[in-house]
Amino acid sequence: MTSSLHLWLIPLVPFAGFLVNGLLGRRFPKALVTTVALIATLIPFVQVANIALHFSSLTLPYTEQVATWITAGNFHADFAFALDQLTLIMLLVVTGVGFLIHIYSVGYMAEEEGYWRFFAYLNLFMFFMLTLVLAENFLLMFVGWEGVGLASYLLIGFYLTKDSAANAGKKAFVVNRIGDFGFLLAMFLLIAHFGTLSFSEVFNQVAQHPEWQGGFLTAIALFLILGATGKSAQIPLYVWLPDAMEGPTPVSALIHAATMVTAGVYMVVRTHVIFDRSPFALSTIAVIGTATALFAATIGLVQTDIKRVLAYSTVSQLGYMFLACGVAAYSSGIFHLLTHAFFKALLFLSAGSVIHALSGEQDMRVMGGLRKKIPITFWTMTMAVFAISGFPPFAGFFSKDEILYQAFISPNGLGKILWFIGLFTAGLTSFYMFRLWYLTFFGESRAQATTAHDDHGHGHGHGVHESSWVMLTPLVILAILSGIGGWVGVPEAMGGHAEIAHFLSPVTGAAHEAAEGRSMELLLAAVSVTVAVIGWFIAHLMYFAKPALPAQLASKVRGLYSLLLNKYWVDELYGAVVVAPLLLISRYVLKGLFDTGVITGGGMAIGYSAQGLGALVQRVQSGNIRSYAGWLALGAAALLLLTYVGFGTHLLFR
């Protein structure tokens, strides 16, 4: 059916939800606010599901022109939405996980006072994310890109009264803006060279000119990478994500796990035609990805706050996705994005229900022995931990292994090194996940009776209790998804037929088959599983068998431990390198020197000189007639000279 799919309806319904909740939410009862928010998310999910069912009958790529936005000379950009395989997957993830998190947050945010405000912002976020995903040209994508940044700022800073939340929100927004700056420059370059911003036209022009290699394409790619690292929290601009944990847990789940942070990966995959033309950009992405993965994993080892650990694990998993894109295995990148959305959302939500259970307590050193008290959360969290560590039946194994395999066989020279670092990081990942797992659920409870020094004060202190079913159902669904999610992309080597790779091939181009064939793939899979088991065993040894071991180890490698604990002092580094000089310049050079010196100084100077001149002239006005006469005489002489010199020369006394 080629009739109009009303794509524009998908982003618009959440926007309507935002308007209703935003404007009238204050006076609505909580129930009404919830129904409005849930409907606003359900409708797009149903519509996407409907599209998914009829997808095969669609003629692709399907674009829908809503209105023209800018026509300036021969450049024009308009509100246009496009749909293809990649967009469909992203839509499914965003609307599906988004809907589940909406249900979860009904329970989680029940006692918060800004209830209606929270759901309004969530709907706003959904609107912007859907616009970003559905956009048919860079400009509309940029609108979504900015909007998502705004929504994350609002949601991180949801707890208005807390300074740390407000600062974290500001930090997130500023760092995102830096990334967006890169994206903007890329767009300018695109306009300069291609004269248009719509994806289809740009990619057609690139396809028509095979001779275009590197050069300005690399420049565009690099700027796009800068934008992606800003949004998906990669090496230079990742600092905002750990601080973003100040926001409520559903926010972290939705924005900082499933959707927003993946926008960078989606953008890279969407514009892979440009990246294919510049090998240098691809290798940069791969290097950045691997470096971030290793870097974040190492920091994650020593974090004590449960949400911080998950945040660093998100950063490192995103590093994996970037590694996939770096080695041009775009479909495996998207596959990992899909699975990661499921198990990371699940991890965050289960962490949320743990915090909810402990009435706001986030510090793992105070937890322990919760296995009996919150069994369902325990089992869903276990499912997620096994998924992320990459144990075979679960989703994580297939997607991460696919990436490592692609890295290993990629023609790029760095392939082997990246694969090895990836493998080592996978070990670290399983170690810190199981560390979290043991600290939270096993051993005896270390909670001091009444020191509920939670930091967001909503704990109601009447003992540990399992969350309500409203929060648990999304956990269960996500657990199932994390379980079976991986089977979508089982590679041929292991019996599956990589449906997702074939599904995405029209968009991402054919995934290249390795020459070594299946045996190599199986061998690599086995290696990665053994690394995961080793990680689990070490964590088991340190945190279950001998609980005192971590403390001794930490005291032995004092320097390394404090380095990791303080997150390599990166924040302090940025503070010193960027922030301090800027403040210095603006306070002293600009304000001190320029402002007071030049402007006020100049003004005063003009004033005084006018006064001085006046005094000088005033002396001539002496009242003495004869001095006037003197000046008169001189003036007359001068005038005479002037006339003679001026006109006299051709004066003829005939």
Partner 1 sequence: MHLVLFLIFGGLCVAGALNLLLQRHPINSALSLIVVMTSLAVLYLLLGAEFLAAAQVIVYSGAIMVLFTFVIMLLNAGKEERTHGSKAAYIVGFPGAAALLGILTYIFLKQSDHLGSAKLGGYLVTTSDLSRVLFRDLLLPFEVTSVLILVAILGAVALARREH
Partner 2 sequence: MVVPIAYYLVLSAILFSIGVAAFLIKRNIISIFMSIELMLNAVNLTFVAFAHQWHQVSGQIFVFFVMVVAAAEAAVGLAIIIAIFRTRNTLDVDHVDLMKL
Nearest approach, Cβ of residue 633 and partner 1 (Å) = 3
Q: Which does 635 bind (CB under 5 to 8 A by kind): partner 1, partner 2, none?
A: partner 1
Q: How far apart are the first and last CA of the chain?
A: 105
CA atoms of 363 and 459, how far apart (whole Å): 14
Give 457 or 630: the residue with its C-beta nearer to partner 2: 630
Q: Which does 70 bind (CB under 5 to 8 A by kind): partner 2, partner 1, none?
A: none
Give 365 or 626: the residue with its C-beta nearer to partner 1: 626
Nearest approach, Cβ of residue 609 and partner 1 (Å) = 24
- List beta partners, residue 81: 64, 135
Nearest approach, Cβ of residue 612 and partner 1 (Å) = 20
Q: Which does 620 bind (CB under 5 to 8 A by kind): partner 1, partner 2, none?
A: partner 1
**Near partner 2 by CB under 8 A: residue from 629, 639, 641, 642:** 629
**Near partner 2 by CB under 8 A: residue from 585, 590, 613, 633:** 633
Q: Which does 648 bind (CB under 5 to 8 A by kind): partner 2, partner 1, none?
A: partner 1
Give 541 or 641: the residue with its C-beta nearer to partner 1: 641
Q: Is 621 in the site for partner 2 (CB under 8 A)?
A: no
**Near partner 2 by CB under 8 A: residue from 413, 626, 650, 651:** 626
Whose structure tokens read 């690292």? 229
Q: What are the distances in angstroms from CA 354 to CA 362, 412, 490?
A: 8, 44, 32
**Near partner 2 by CB under 8 A: residue from 4, 164, 622, 643:** 622
Give 304 or 627: the residue with its C-beta nearer to partner 1: 627
Please give the backbone phi and psi of residue 103, each rounded to the nearest 5 degrees, phi first: -60, -45
Give 75 or 644: the residue with its C-beta nearer to partner 1: 644
Q: What are the distances in angstroms from CA 509 to CA 14, 222, 275, 504, 543?
A: 33, 21, 13, 8, 46
Q: Is 50 in the site for partner 2 (CB under 8 A)?
A: no
- Which residues of this chain interact with partner 1, rule CB under 8 A? 620, 622, 624, 626-627, 629-638, 640-641, 644, 648, 651-654
Number of helices (H), then strands (E), in the chain: 27, 2
Applying CB under 8 A, what is the total number of residues that bind partner 2? 10
- Collapse the DSSP code of 266 into the 3-class scheme (helix H, G, I; strand E, B; otherwise coil) and give the result: helix
Please give the backbone phi and psi of residue 451, each rounded to the nearest 5 degrees, phi first: -85, 65
Nearest approach, Cβ of residue 599 and partner 1 (Å) = 40
Q: Which does 634 bind (CB under 5 to 8 A by kind): partner 1, partner 2, none?
A: partner 1
Q: Which does 644 bind (CB under 5 to 8 A by kind): partner 2, partner 1, none?
A: partner 1
Separation of CA 406 from chain center: 25
CA atoms of 374 and 367, how far apart (whole Å): 12
- Write the single-letter amino acid at 591: K
Q: Which does 417 bind (CB under 5 to 8 A by kind): partner 1, partner 2, none?
A: none
Helix (H) or strand (E) holding 64: strand 62-72
Nearest approach, Cβ of residue 651 and partner 1 (Å) = 8
Nearest approach, Cβ of residue 620 and partner 2 (Å) = 13
Nearest approach, Cβ of residue 651 and partner 2 (Å) = 13
Q: Is 652 in the site for partner 2 (CB under 8 A)?
A: no
Beta strands in 73-174 (DSSP E): 75-83
**Near partner 2 by CB under 8 A: residue from 617, 624, 647, 651:** 624
| Other Cβ atoms closer than 10 A to 64 | 16
Q: Is 590 exposed, middle or buried, given 0-12, 13-18 or 19+ CB atoms closer than 10 A?
A: exposed
Q: Which of residues 205-234 bind partner 2 (CB under 8 A)?
A: none
| Other Cβ atoms closer than 10 A to 138 | 25
Nearest approach, Cβ of residue 633 and partner 2 (Å) = 5
Q: Are 422 and 404 in contact (CB under 8 A)?
A: yes
Determine the interface stretch with partner 2 among 158-166, 252-260, 367-375, 621-629 (rule: CB under 8 A): 621-629
Beta strands in 19-74 (DSSP E): 62-72
Give 67 or 647: the residue with its C-beta nearer to partner 1: 647
Give 67 or 647: the residue with its C-beta nearer to partner 2: 647
Determine the interface stretch with partner 2 among 111-119, 250-258, 359-367, 627-635 (rule: CB under 8 A): 627-635
Token pair recorded at residue 354 = 């743990």
Give 612 or 630: the residue with its C-beta nearer to partner 2: 630
Give 53 or 625: the residue with its C-beta nearer to partner 2: 625
Give 495 or 623: the residue with its C-beta nearer to partner 2: 623
Nearest approach, Cβ of residue 624 and partner 1 (Å) = 4
Helix (H) or strand (E) holding 323: helix 306-326
Q: What are the distances in angstroms from CA 502 to CA 101, 399, 612?
A: 30, 15, 86
Separation of CA 644 from chain center: 81
Nearest approach, Cβ of residue 626 and partner 1 (Å) = 4
Nearest approach, Cβ of residue 629 and partner 1 (Å) = 6
Give 607 or 635: the residue with its C-beta nearer to partner 1: 635
Give me the helices (H) in 232-359, please.
Answer: 240-243, 249-253, 262-270, 272-276, 279-302, 306-326, 330-357
Q: Is 638 in the site for partner 2 (CB under 8 A)?
A: no
Q: Which does 23 bind (CB under 5 to 8 A by kind): partner 1, partner 2, none?
A: none
Q: Is 623 in the site for partner 2 (CB under 8 A)?
A: yes
Q: Which does 517 bind (CB under 5 to 8 A by kind): partner 1, partner 2, none?
A: none
- Collapse the DSSP code of 79 into the 3-class scheme (helix H, G, I; strand E, B; otherwise coil) and give the result: strand
Nearest approach, Cβ of residue 650 and partner 2 (Å) = 18
Q: Is 413 in the site for partner 2 (CB under 8 A)?
A: no
Nearest approach, Cβ of residue 602 and partner 2 (Å) = 38
CA atoms of 219 and 231, how far apart (whole Å): 19
Give 580 or 638: the residue with its C-beta nearer to partner 1: 638
CA atoms of 361 and 450, how far apart (whole Å): 11
Please give the backbone phi and psi of residue 66, each rounded to the nearest 5 degrees, phi first: -95, -55
Secondary structure of 584-624 in HEC code, one letter for each residue? HHHHHHHHHHHHHHHHHHHHHHHHHHHHHHHHHHHHHCCCC
Q: Is 611 exposed, middle or buried, given 0-12, 13-18 or 19+ CB atoms closer than 10 A?
A: exposed
CA atoms of 134 and 11, how far apart (whole Å): 8
Contacting positions for partner 2 (CB under 8 A) = 622-626, 629-630, 633, 636, 653
